[in-house]
Amino acid sequence: MRILITGGAGFIGSHLAERCLREGWTVSVIDDLSTGSFENIAHLKGCPTFDYTIDTVFNAPLVSELIDGCDLVFHLAAAVGVRLVVDSPVRTIETNIHGTEVVLNAAAKKGKRVVIASTSEVYGKSAKVPFREEDDLVMGPTSIGRWSYACSKALDEFLGLAYFYEKHVPVTVIRLFNTVGPRQTARYGMVLPTFVRQALLHEPITVFGDGKQRRCFGYVLDVVEALARIAKSPQTAGEIINIGNDQEISIGGLAGQVRAQLGSSSEIVFIPYKDAYGEGFEDMLRRIPSVAKLERLVGFRPHTPLPAIIDAVAQEMTAREAVASCTAAATSAPEAILEHA
């Protein structure tokens, strides 16, 4: 099978590329590196069944050419992270909606299969847990910026399913719930890498809000396994499928667990939402997926426990910092020699 991954140099996309290559598939990646990183895929360059393109999914002729050469598209390119969503709402809406339009339009011309990555954010302020794919979506007002992300991803879903029903494009929508693991950056407000980085540096661990909000964290390798199984299951076309771990923990509890597990001396500090994101920011108390549909359709559910995920994130982050320190030392060495010559 020939696979195209938009956003393939991102956190999830790069792990997905590795998983697809292990399956024996040919993998192409397109990414503009706005939130992804070439470092995530650099180790794949020598693989004869892997290639990459540094460009945007807004480049319709290029995307059309790439889709012509594949059997299935994983459309992961999107705005990511609460911080980016709050700070750049225009970019969020344009990236999510227009990028999906380009991909679906190109796929429709040749009847290519598309898996669209959506998000648990589309459930909005619903208090009916666990969230099931057929549940109503409860959005906040348009005056609150964070809902632009949820609404834009919901529109992606409507668009994808419209292409499925009207143009017979085999589209599957997957809703991701707090995917975490190695390579995830803390740059855009991702909570687990932020807590791990702060704990490793013995800096204050910053919890936004009162810490009572509860979330479920799915390991990225579990998530890409689910995606690979969906790719091999044509019967998932036309479906919306939750992907995530259904074991929940409070964010305050997560901070405490990270601190204890990493043996950190960090203080846990609570920061009001208005100081972190500005006045009017809204959050949801609980967000728990039902993964019954995923298990029924592909015979798999995410299962990696949180302590193992924290260890994996900390080990990768420590290794990355060690490499960066060695690189910095090697770069400055000639200058040091000259200074003492």
CA distance 114 to 98: 15
Instruction: Give the count of beta carbons closer than 10 Å to the beta carbon of residue 257.
Output: 17
Q: Are 6 and 74 within 8 A, CB to CB?
A: yes
Q: Are 93 and 152 within 8 A, CB to CB?
A: yes
Q: Are 131 and 290 within 8 A, CB to CB?
A: yes
Catalytic annotation, pick one of 123, 149, 163, 188? 149
Main-chain phi, psi angles of 262, to 5 degrees: -95, 5
- Within 8 A by CB and 6+ apart from 6, the residues are 13, 30, 31, 57, 63, 73, 74, 75, 76, 77, 99, 103
Concerning whether 123 is annotated as a catalytic residue, the answer is no
CA distance 36 to 8: 8
Residue 4: enclosing H or E segment and its boundaries? strand 2-6
Q: Are 224 and 117 within 8 A, CB to CB?
A: no
Distance of alpha carbon 211 from the chain centroid: 22
Question: β-pairing, 248-250 with 214-216?
Answer: antiparallel
- Residue 172's nearest CA partner among 117, 227, 238 is 238
Structure-block tokens of residue 219:
């390991």
Active site residues: 149
